[in-house]
Structure 1
Amino acid sequence: MATYTWQKSSYSHEGANCLNVAVADDSTRLLRESDDPGSMLAPTPARLGALISALKAGHLTRERLP
């Protein structure tokens, strides 16, 4: 199993509910939630860019999530 160097946003506080990001050897970006470190997502660059854009624009807020 590969070992990744995970980074946490400076906006995240200690504890749960943090999104971690890592870069695999093949440059794939990986995402995981700190509460479930065994589950990872590997979005395409376009999808990750769209997610980041939506977050920055305020289109995805805690109130809007199911």
Structure 2
Amino acid sequence: MSPHRWEKSSYCQEGDACVHISTTPTAIHLTDRPAPPHTVLTVGPAAFAALLRSLKSRAVTGG
């Protein structure tokens, strides 16, 4: 059993193309399936914020 409380992305489509996220005070955990998670990417809050800024910037500029 995973110790994480996984939440599905609000941008998730039907099927398996989803991102699930779990947070702690010091880390952000991402996986493509929560039960059981096969691969978990763990980053710090600053790195995750930088990723979000980059993705939002690309969405605005179309790049």
Q: What is the TM-score with the length of structure 2 in the denominator?
A: 0.69
Code of the residue aligned with 1:38 in structure 2: it is H
Alpha-carbon distance in structure 1 between the residues aligned to 2:43 and 2:27: 8
Q: Which runs of 4+ in 1 moved over 3 A?
A: none
Alignment partner, residue 3 of structure 2: 3
Alpha-carbon distance in structure 1 between the residues aligned to 2:37 and 2:17: 11
Report sequence identity in percent: 31
Higher RCO by CA contacts (8 Å cutoff, separation 6 or greater): 2
| 2:61 aligned with 1:57 | no
What's the CA shift for 1:46? 1.6
Alpha-carbon distance in structure 2 between the residues aligned to 1:2 and 1:16: 19
Q: What is the TM-score with the length of structure 1 in the denominator?
A: 0.66
Unaligned 5+ segments in structure 2 are none
Code of the residue aligned with 1:17 in structure 2: it is A
Unaligned 5+ segments in structure 1 are none
Alpha-carbon distance in structure 2 between the residues aligned to 1:48 and 1:28: 9
Higher strand content, 1 or 2: 1
What's the CA shift for 1:30? 0.7
Alpha-carbon distance in structure 2 between the residues aligned to 1:38 and 1:21: 13
What's the CA shift for 1:27? 4.0
**Count, aligned residues:** 58
